[in-house]
């Protein structure tokens, strides 16, 4: 097992550090920048289905559901088709309105999650075209879907999902860009810029990973907190949910993710000097609005850990701690802002001496209801 961990103390840490490679492996052979094209066999072969779809319905569970939420923002923005994101467990039991003009995208790392599999079968029985985004080759979901695209994350052993999440977002981003090109909802020059920026992401993830020691020091300050709030807006709202899930899963600290502006409708009541609040406040995307959310928190003495863009000044002045990530296009920021949140949960769990790779009560793949 020590050898399998490749010199890291835990599989989770190894998998966090594998993300530059995993993301690169996932777009390799698909993102052809010199030719300015994206090639994905499962999408090309079914282009008519995708182009004629009245809407996309994404079904998934857990972290994969969060990747689906990120995709909702990206798809609607790039291809202008409505997207709904459903918990597979709810979708399968609520007699959903669905027909042959819908495209269902099922996201699953393991490809074995019982609820997601059942949602796929239901969608198929109503005539929908079902596309799978899985990591495990030949898994039940990969076989049950009409077509699909694999993430190339490699085996994920840590129960708390890390590299599966960022590679799912990578596949879904490639799909959205490919479809946007086919639909004509993106100009060829913007498309080229996106390809270029996506190719730079692995190096930028590498850069973000360099904050590891700085994050471990922040983790030490907050490890005994009873609660933690995660806030983000737009593309980074799902990242806030995912950050909170990571902390809950492995440190057993109660954490909630919220869209930053919703804070005033409830969570603000929880804020006092003992409450750490992780705010994703990158320059792109509602920056000024997030700054005012931060001011509201500070006036209630909350402690702010902010994820900011390199060289940030405004938030840096207000926050108790800042963690920098490189700049990129707004829709690609989740691939970078996720990294410090994974490391923060990891270090808190290690400091609390929790079983990071196999947290209590959780399973890597949930094959029963």
Q: What residues are annotated to the active site? A: 364
Among 11, 12, 23, 62, interactor with ligand G6P by CB under 6 A:
62
Q: For residue 296, give Cα distances in angstroms to 115, 190, 267, 277, 289.
A: 40, 37, 12, 12, 11
CB 161 to ligand G6P: min, Å: 4
State the nearest-atom distance from the C-beta of 8 to ligand G6P, in Å: 19
On whether the CB atoms of residues 195 and 177 are closer than 8 A, the answer is yes
Number of residues that bind ligand G6P (CB under 6 A): 15
State which of positions 66-105 bind ligand G6P (CB under 6 A): none
Least separation, in Å, of the C-beta of 112 and ligand G6P? 6
d(CA 253, CA 245): 10
Q: Does 366 bind ligand G6P (CB under 6 A)?
A: yes
**Of residues 169-188, those binding ligand G6P (CB under 6 A):** none
> According to the binding rule CB under 6 A, does residue 162 interact with ligand G6P?
no
Contact present, 291 and 306 (Cβ < 8 Å): no
Q: Residue 320 contacts by C-beta under 8 Å, 6 or more apart in sequence?
A: 303, 304, 305
Task: Give the residue, chosen from 40, 61, 147, 275, that forms a contact with ligand G6P under the rule CB under 6 A.
Answer: 61
> Hey, what are 68's tokens?
């689906």
In the complex, minimum distance from the CB of residue 60 to ligand G6P, in angstroms, rounded to a whole number: 6
Phi then psi dihedrals of residue 231, to 5 deg: -125, 140
For ligand G6P, the closer CB: 63 or 293: 63
Report the alpha-carbon distance of residue 342 to residue 83 in Å, rounded: 27
CB 173 within 8 A of CB 166: no
The residue written with tokens 């938030």 in the block is 315
Site for ligand G6P in 111-140 (CB under 6 A): 113, 116
Q: Check binding of 362 to ligand G6P (CB under 6 A).
A: yes
| Interacting residues toward ligand G6P by CB under 6 A | 61-64, 108-110, 113, 116, 159, 161, 362, 364-366
């Amino acid at each position: 097992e020590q050898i399998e961990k490749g010199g890291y103390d835990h599989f989770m840490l190894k998998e966090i550090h594998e993300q530059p490679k995993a993301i690169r492996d996932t777009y390799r052979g698909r993102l052809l920048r010199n030719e300015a094209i994206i090639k994905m066999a499962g999408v090309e072969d079914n282009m008519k289905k995708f182009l004629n779809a009245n809407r996309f319905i994404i079904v998934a569970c857990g972290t994969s559901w969060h990747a689906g939420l990120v995709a909702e923002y990206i798809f609607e923005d790039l291809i202008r088709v409505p997207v709904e994101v459903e918990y597979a467990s709810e979708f399968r039991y609520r007699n959903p309105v669905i027909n042959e003009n819908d495209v269902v995208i099922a996201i699953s790392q393991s490809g074995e999650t019982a609820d997601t599999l059942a949602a796929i079968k239901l969608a198929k029985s109503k005539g929908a075209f079902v596309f799978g985004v899985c990591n495990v080759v030949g898994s039940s979901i990969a076989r049950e879907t009409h077509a699909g695209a694999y993430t190339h994350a490699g085996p994920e052993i840590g129960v708390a999902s890390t590299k599966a999440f960022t590679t799912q977002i990578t596949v879904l981003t490639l799909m959205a860009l490919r479809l946007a090109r086919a639909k004509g909802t993106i100009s060829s020059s913007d498309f080229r810029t996106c390809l270029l920026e996506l190719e730079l992401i692995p190096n930028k993830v590498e850069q973000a990973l360099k904050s590891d020691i700085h994050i471990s020091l922040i983790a030490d300050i907050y490890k005994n907190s009873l609660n933690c709030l995660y806030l983000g807006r737009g593309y980074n709202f799902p990242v806030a949910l995912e950050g909170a899930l990571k902390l809950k899963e492995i440190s057993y600290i109660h954490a909630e993710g919220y869209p930053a502006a919703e804070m005033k409708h409830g969570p603000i009541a929880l804020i006092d000097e003992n409450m750490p609040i992780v705010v994703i406040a990158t320059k792109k995307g509602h920056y000024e609005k997030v700054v005012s959310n931060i001011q509201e928190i500070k006036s209630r003495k909350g402690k702010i850990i902010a994820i900011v863009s390199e060289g940030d000044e405004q938030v840096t002045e207000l926050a108790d701690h800042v963690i920098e990530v490189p700049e990129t296009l707004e829709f690609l920021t989740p691939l970078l802002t996720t990294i410090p949140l994974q490391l923060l949960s990891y270090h808190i769990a290690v400091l609390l001496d929790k079983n990071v790779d196999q947290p209590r009560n959780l399973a890597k793949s949930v094959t029963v209801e």
